[in-house]
Amino acid sequence: MKFIDETIIDVVSGDGGNGCVSFRREKYVPMGGPNGGDGGGGGSVILKTDANLSTLLDVSYRRSFKAKRGGNGKGKQMTGPTGEDCVLRVPVGTAIYDVESNELLADLDKKELEFIAAKGGRGGRGNMHFVSSTNQAPRKAEPGTPGEKRRIRLELKLLADVGLVGLPNAGKSTLISTVSNAKPKIADYPFTTKIPSLGLVRIEADRSFVMADIPGLIEGAHTGVGMGIQFLRHIERTRIILHLIDPVDLANPDPIANYKAIRKELESYGEHLANRPEIIVLTKMDLPEAKVKSDEIIADLKKLSGNKVVCLSAATRYNLEELLFSIGKVLF
Ligand SMILES: Nc1nc2c(ncn2[C@@H]2O[C@H](COP(=O)(O)OP(=O)(O)OP(=O)(O)O)[C@@H](O)[C@H]2O)c(=O)[nH]1
Ligand SMILES: [Mg+2]
């Protein structure tokens, strides 16, 4: 189980703009004094925590992040424009390390925290600053200081937001492998999944979450039957439970009874888990008999659970968007 999301990026701040050499030109004033303005400061690369994110997916899509250069100063004491910062949004809990020294630079453990990963260069001073009693017409101005360049590693301990539960063969691993980067083993025999896995799911720009796939539960799991309920601890802190039901499970032909059996196992694990928001997912809708069966039971299942029921096919992606949308509504 990959507990840590990690990515390495290059951050480059903007150079400061150069100071300007310029002199006043006015009618009837033969020798105007120096009036070259300062260069603008370069932009910084800033990491900022966002409570809506729970993975580093958005950052890891790009390798390098660059802020803008400051503008050069101009005559008439005009300061150059400040370079725009480059702001990266990262999830709360992101730790930042310098790749070269492996030093921990910052631990962004609260929301709306900022860390300047590369500070923008300073703008150079224009020649108006260099007047002295011996030099009334300085031809000197400073160049801006260069921006910083640094390679950093972002590290995030993953906590699952969404947990998948259901009988063996319900289609849990197939679902996580369809919507996320997780690639668990999938097969048509029970208890294919023996260890939990985590997947990162992206639903739109700046919206991603962590899904956990765990081994199937069966009736009596809380007494140790099958693989037991010990794996429920991996989804203990999730914010939603997706309860997957195969409506045409040959080994367990009554989907309503299946639903109740799994609910009983969740309840025996603890109220906190049983009271978690739940979305029921009827799987394998590409099979005609699954569609027929789901039409028969959907009203009863809604009434019994009081929860949303989504009919889904991971194989054809039927209603996959709708499911992700419903998850997004609970999470964000
Ligand atoms: N036709 C069809 N078959 C599916 C679909 N999703 C899963 N399956 C099949 O159902 C079987 C079980 O799928 P898994 O994803 O391994 O089920 P699981 O819930 O992870 O099972 P365990 O790990 O044993 O608990 C496999 O043969 C899958 O190919 C689907 O959308 N349509
Ligand atoms: Mg599985």
Indicate whether 27 pLDDT > 90: no
Domains: count for the chain: 2
CA of 195 to the centre of ligand 2 (A): 9
- CA end-to-end span of the chain: 25
Give the pLDDT confidence score for residue 4 in this predicted structure. Answer: 79
- The verdict on the CB of residue 181 being under 6 Å from ligand 1 is no
Residues 214-225 have pLDDT tens digits of 999 999 999 999
CA of 181 to the centre of ligand 2 (A): 15
* 48 φ, ψ (degrees, to nearest 5): -135, 135
Q: Which ligand is nearest to the CA of 227?
A: 1
Q: For 130-173, what is the HEC assignment?
A: HCCCCCCCCCCCCCCCCCCEEEEEEEEECCCCEEEEECCCCCHH
- The verdict on the CB of residue 172 being under 6 Å from ligand 1 is yes
Residues 64-87 have pLDDT tens digits of 999 999 999 999 999 999 999 999
> Can you give the CATH number for the domain in which 221 is found?
3.40.50.300
Tell me how many degrees the CA angle 282-216-305 measures, rounded to the nearest 5: 40
170 and 285 both lie in a single domain: yes
| Confidence band, pLDDT 50/70/90 cuts, at residue 162 | very high
116 and 204 both lie in a single domain: no
Tell me how many degrees the CA angle 14-15-19 measures, rounded to the nearest 5: 140
Give the pLDDT confidence score for residue 123 in this predicted structure. Answer: 97
Residues 82-131 have pLDDT tens digits of 999 999 999 999 999 999 999 999 999 999 999 999 999 999 999 999 99
218 and 147 both lie in a single domain: no
Sort 87 into a burial class: Cβ within 10 Å, 0-12 / 13-18 / 19+: middle
- The verdict on the CB of residue 188 being under 6 Å from ligand 1 is yes
Mean pLDDT rounded to a whole number for the chain? 94
Residues 262-320 have pLDDT tens digits of 999 999 999 999 999 999 999 999 999 999 999 999 999 999 999 999 999 999 999 99
Among 127, 157, 187, residue at a domain's last position: 157
Give the pLDDT confidence score for residue 257 in this predicted structure. Answer: 97
- The verdict on the CB of residue 319 being under 6 Å from ligand 1 is no
Residue 319, token pair as written in the block: 């209603």
Among 102, 136, 157, residue at a domain's last position: 157
- The verdict on the CB of residue 314 being under 6 Å from ligand 1 is yes
Residue 86, beta-bridge partner list: 45
> Can you give the CATH number for the domain in which 121 is found?
2.70.210.12
- For residue 20, give its domain range: 4-157
Among 104, 124, 157, residue at a domain's last position: 157
| Confidence band, pLDDT 50/70/90 cuts, at residue 1 | very low
Give the pLDDT confidence score for residue 58 in this predicted structure. Answer: 85
pTM of this prediction?
0.80
| Confidence band, pLDDT 50/70/90 cuts, at residue 234 | confident
Mutation to probe ligand 1, out of 186, 217, 244 (largest number of atoms < 8 A from CB): 186
Indicate whether 2 pLDDT > 70: no
